[in-house]
Structure 1
Amino acid sequence: MRYLPRLADDLLAEALTISGAVQVRGPKWCGKTATSLQQAGSVIYLQDPDRSRSYLALADAKPSVLLEGETPRLIDEWQMAPQLWDAIRFAVDRRGEPGQFILTGSSTPTVQGMHSGVGRIASLVMRTMTLFESEESTGRVSLKALFDGETEIAGVATLDVEDMARVLCRGGWPAAVTAGAKTPAGRLARNYVEGLIYSDVARMDGVARNATRMRALMRAYARHISTQASQATIAADLAVDEASMAPNTVSDYLDALSRAYVIEDLPAWNPALRSKTAIRTSPTRHFVDPSIGAAVMRWTPADLLRDFEAFGLQFESLCVRDLRVYAEANDGALFHYRDKTGLEADAVVVLADGRWAPVEVKLGSAQLDDAAAHLRRLRDRVDWDRMGEPSFLAVITAGATAYRRDDGVFVIPLACLRN
């Protein structure tokens, strides 16, 4: 499979220059191993069916042997032997040099090491491919350039709404991206969901979970994508699939999906405001890749084009996925905003140096005026003396052209955006 460069390439290279080890976390099939292999000096695959049993026995008896090899030493699916964590931390201390190990894993082990690894083991989150990484965004509009003061943008997207529905159902899985038109949109995502439901989540921590309940919960979750639905609301929605689960069971299943990097909720932003207004703190619900929700609901691109309300929510989730990656590539993070008056921003990009920018997501152009008005209201509500003025205001769309409105709000097709 052809390797497409990832934004994580530079982040991993940088982390290896300052940390003894780097833990690369993220969902299964998102490209963690392929990216890590670009910089690894040697590798050991703990899932190798011919050697896995021997490796795990050695991890118990003498884990230091597994750490021998040219550096950086890649240990793939390290969570199968969580005792390696302390052995790696100890080896990093003994060697006293950066760039010794890369750890990849598609789940968070329930058994933690004796030491946190702070100062020795850096953490890097990888997600599925953004449109820029899959070479479907022109990259004419740079998030970094906007934060650095760019005031004029221009670009024409190569994807239309029909293309966006196809890309959404296909997902950003590297194998699906490189397969191109040879594989029907959503086929790999459906295989991912089936494997997840019937084996991966249970195997992650040895806890048996009912496949029917897991599927019903994921369908209920998919119906609340891009909303601030509570766990109670999601649990109540299970009745749609004629299933019921106790609240603590729902919590356990959602925790398992989170530790498997299947769901990744967007936290709320809590800025200083000019006047007292209660800020909603509930997270916005998202799968790590929107194709998971489409797969579990058995939606096709044609289904989304017939239901623009569902399409709009799924498109927002697609934008959130890309914005997370672009924000983190600029040493930032992504949040959402909503207060008791109903004023909201689908995403707020906040950089480590304090600069921030609110973003609204609209599938089409009919609601651009309302979205721009919401962004201006939020800009005026934030206390600039304490938070600083926003670097820019932007509406991300599935439209064709990137431009700056007369009111200063940027309109950016997702297929024109990059880090």
Structure 2
Amino acid sequence: MAASKQDYVNRIIASRFEHLLSGLPALSLEGAKGVGKTTLAKRYAKSIFRMDDETVSTLVVGTPEIIKESAHPVLLDEWQAAPSIWNTVRHFVDENMEPGQYLLTGSSAPKKAKLHSGAGRIVRLKMRPFSLQERGLAPSLLSLGALLEDDADIKSQAVEVPQQAYVKEILCSGFPGVRQVASEYHREILDRYIDTIIEKDFSELGFEVRYPETLRAWMKAYAAAEGSTTSYESIMNAATPGQDKKPAKATTMVYREALEALCIIDSVKPWLAEGNLYRNLAKAPKHYLADPALSARLLGVTEDKLLQGERVQILGAQTKTLIGRLFEGLVAQSLKVYAGALGLPLCHIRTTRGDHEVDFVIEKGNTLIALEVKFSPKIEERDGVHLDWLERNLPGKRVIKIVVYSGKYLVRQEQDKTIFVPAACLGV
């Protein structure tokens, strides 16, 4: 359900944000437009400079000492509108490493901007759309953090979250601004979000878009590859069917580079094991956009189409339906939030032959949480086949096996200890 305009949802990433701010001089909060970066940062800032306001940016760039002399933390919102301020902050931090001085919010700077990496001075933290825990469909009954610390008390419980609720969540997105308006307007807002990426955001980053419709078609093909490891060549071929003269590879690389800079592409990297298992693992990323609602809009699907199982062309292995892919995307989005709050990466596992794959893994020390995702509400014996395979191949690790599904029971199976958890009940 969408939040009302008066509600403020406490963000899961806030705890890590506070932790980093308490010990580091400068923090850059990054993420796709509309995820709530400015709203979160404003809650901690004592001085705010809107760098997308030309009057403000002219003042700050011309008299940078003003931010050093202002009450800290200083928020430089939409800093990429005046990219030289990044280097200014870096220099000020070199002079004074006191924690909690500067907050920068925004996306990447224009590619022509000459910026120092800021390594060791400005730490980057990524913020994403609302996770399922933040959306509040059901109580969070299973904590990933507790599982990693071997401190989880798993009691069989039932929750009532129907499949249709997950479909609605896929389509309404996790963008706070979208969720504040009636559902009948969600399509228009999301369509305009995509239009803005193509018509405005690319050029602001310094990327030339000669053929906007080719870019739109490429984004649609990427959406069709949601949850797969499809090659970028296959994505381009799907975007340009029947065209003898395909866009150059350099063109598609520009699309990828810009969409990654805008945090619209948010792929999951492969997990690289040690030993014999490593040689058999694929190295390709798993494709996702920042929010599965964007994929749904690019593909033109509606709630009725998804629930009725209407066929839409998808790329990659055909082991999951489109609704299965989008549901996996919703879970992936949530897991990225949870893993990010724990300071851990989210990865996936797939063998080079494709005979085994584990949708997601989160690793800390000697513990590995392995997760399979399925849209079905039923618990079936075959659901844990790939999880069991992984456990057998990692004898020295503590492997926690989880199936995330759309059913209503949180339960741990006695025979193999696999945990089945409704997606809405999994949390940080």
Same fold per superposition (TM over 0.5): yes
Q: Distance in 2 between matches of 1:215 and 1:63?
A: 40
Matched residue of 2:135: which SS? Answer: coil
Question: C-alpha displacement at 1:367, in angstroms?
Answer: 7.2
Q: Distance in 2 between matches of 1:209 and 1:122?
A: 35
Q: How far does the alpha carbon of each residue in 1:162-192 deviate from its partner, in whole angstroms, 9 at most, with x for none?
A: 111111011100122333x454444432221
- 2:8 is aligned to 3
Residue correspondence of structure 1 range 157-306 to structure 2 within 5 A: 157-179=159-181, 181=182, 183-205=184-206, 207-240=208-241, 244-273=246-275, 277-306=279-308
- 1:345 is aligned to 358
Task: Report the CA distance shift for 1:327/1:147 in structure 2 as closer, same or farther (over 3 A).
Answer: same
- 2:330 is aligned to 318
- 2:424 is aligned to 415
Q: Is the Cα–Cα contact under 8 Å of residues 79 and 109 in structure 1 kept in the other structure? A: yes
- 2:140 is aligned to 139
Q: Is the Cα–Cα contact under 8 Å of residues 198 and 216 in structure 2 kept in the other structure? A: yes
Paired AA for residue 346 in structure 1: D
Answering whether residue 379 of structure 2 is matched by residue 374 of structure 1, we say no
Task: Report the CA distance shift for 1:145/1:239 in structure 2 as closer, same or farther (over 3 A).
Answer: same
Question: C-alpha displacement at 1:65, in angstroms?
Answer: 3.1
Q: Is the Cα–Cα contact under 8 Å of residues 157 and 415 in structure 1 kept in the other structure? A: no
Q: Is the Cα–Cα contact under 8 Å of residues 48 and 75 in structure 2 kept in the other structure? A: yes
| 232-241 vs 104-113, which moves further | 104-113
| 392-401 vs 365-374, which moves further | 365-374
Matched residue of 2:221: which SS? Answer: helix
Q: Distance in 1 between matches of 2:342 and 2:145?
A: 7
Paired AA for residue 255 in structure 2: Y
Q: 1:402 aligns with which of 410, 415, 428?
A: 410
| 56-65 vs 290-299, which moves further | 56-65
- 2:317 is aligned to none
Q: Is the Cα–Cα contact under 8 Å of residues 55 and 66 in structure 1 kept in the other structure? A: no
Question: C-alpha displacement at 1:58, in angstroms?
Answer: 4.0
Q: 1:332 aligns with which of 344, 356, 360?
A: 344
Please list every run of 5 or more consecutive structure 1 residues that lacks an aligned counterpart in the other structure.
none
Q: How far does the alpha carbon of each residue in 1:210-235 deviate from its partner, in whole angstroms, 9 at most, with x for none?
A: 32111101111011111101111111
Paired AA for residue 225 in structure 2: H
- 1:155 is aligned to 157
Q: Distance in 1 between matches of 2:186 and 2:372?
A: 27
How many correspondences in the alignment?
409
Question: C-alpha displacement at 1:206, in angstroms?
Answer: 5.1
Paired AA for residue 421 in structure 2: I
- 2:314 is aligned to none
Tell me the TM-score normalized by structure 1: 0.91
Question: C-alpha displacement at 1:374, in angstroms?
Answer: 1.3
Tell me the TM-score normalized by structure 2: 0.89
Question: C-alpha displacement at 1:277, in angstroms?
Answer: 4.5
- 2:44 is aligned to 39
Q: Distance in 2 between matches of 1:356 and 1:299?
A: 35
Paired AA for residue 15 in structure 1: L
Q: Distance in 2 between matches of 1:374 and 1:267?
A: 18
Paired AA for residue 14 in structure 1: H
Provide the alpha-carbon RMSD of the alignment: 2.2
Matched residue of 2:398: which SS? Answer: coil
Paired AA for residue 258 in structure 2: A
Question: C-alpha displacement at 1:326, in angstroms?
Answer: 0.7
Please list every run of 5 or more consecutive structure 2 residues that lacks an aligned counterpart in the other structure.
311-320
Q: Distance in 1 between matches of 2:19 and 2:411?
A: 34
Q: Is the Cα–Cα contact under 8 Å of residues 347 and 362 in structure 2 kept in the other structure? A: yes
Question: C-alpha displacement at 1:272, in angstroms?
Answer: 2.2
Task: Report the CA distance shift for 1:203/1:187 in structure 2 as closer, same or farther (over 3 A).
Answer: same
- 2:315 is aligned to none
Q: Is the Cα–Cα contact under 8 Å of residues 411 and 420 in structure 2 kept in the other structure? A: yes
Residue correspondence of structure 1 range 41-190 to structure 2 within 5 A: 41-48=46-53, 52=54, 54-58=55-59, 60-111=61-112, 113=114, 115-149=116-150, 150=152, 152-179=154-181, 181=182, 183-190=184-191
- Identical-residue share of aligned pairs (%): 27
Q: Distance in 2 between matches of 1:277 and 1:12?
A: 37
Q: Is the Cα–Cα contact under 8 Å of residues 170 and 188 in structure 1 kept in the other structure? A: no
Q: Is the Cα–Cα contact under 8 Å of residues 136 and 158 in structure 1 kept in the other structure? A: no
